[in-house]
């Protein structure tokens, strides 16, 4: 085998190993991002029965300027910092 052929084979092997290592790092970073992306924190609001907000649940992620509010009926509202919008309307219970 010629010396130039050995060099080509070693170069291809090194490139293949480098690409595989880089792809593995990318997959790990993507997985870490998905797991750490959820920064929603419950907001403690304790109104008494009959007061506005009683039975509602509030969640916020200040880093990403978003919030979720769940009504006592199960309706979901979502905000990206510009007011709440209804994103899910629960079916009426009989």
Examine the domain organization and report whether 47 and 93 are in the same domain: yes
Which of 69, 67, 68, 65 has its CA nearest to residue 56? 69
Examine the domain organization and report whether 54 and 83 are in the same domain: yes
Examine the domain organization and report whether 71 and 30 are in the same domain: no
Predicted local confidence at residue 92, as pLDDT: 76
Domain holding 25, by residue range, is 1-37
Mean pLDDT by 10 residues, the chain (94 residues): 61 58 52 60 88 90 89 92 89 72
Phi, psi of 79 (to 5 degrees): -135, 140
Predicted local confidence at residue 31, as pLDDT: 56
Examine the domain organization and report whether 56 and 92 are in the same domain: yes
Examine the domain organization and report whether 9 and 22 are in the same domain: yes
First to last CA, the chain: 82
Examine the domain organization and report whether 12 and 54 are in the same domain: no
Examine the domain organization and report whether 90 and 48 are in the same domain: yes
Predicted local confidence at residue 57, as pLDDT: 92
């Amino acid at each position: 085998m010629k010396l130039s052929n050995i060099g080509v084979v070693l170069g291809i092997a090194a490139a293949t190993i480098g690409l595989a290592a880089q792809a593995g790092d990318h997959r790990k970073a993507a997985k870490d991002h998905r797991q750490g992306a959820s920064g929603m924190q419950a907001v403690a609001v304790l109104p008494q029965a009959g007061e506005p907000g009683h039975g509602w649940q509030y969640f916020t992620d200040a880093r990403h300027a978003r919030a979720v509010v769940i009504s006592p009926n199960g309706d979901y509202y979502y905000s990206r910092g510009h007011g709440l919008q209804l994103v899910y309307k629960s079916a009426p219970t009989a």
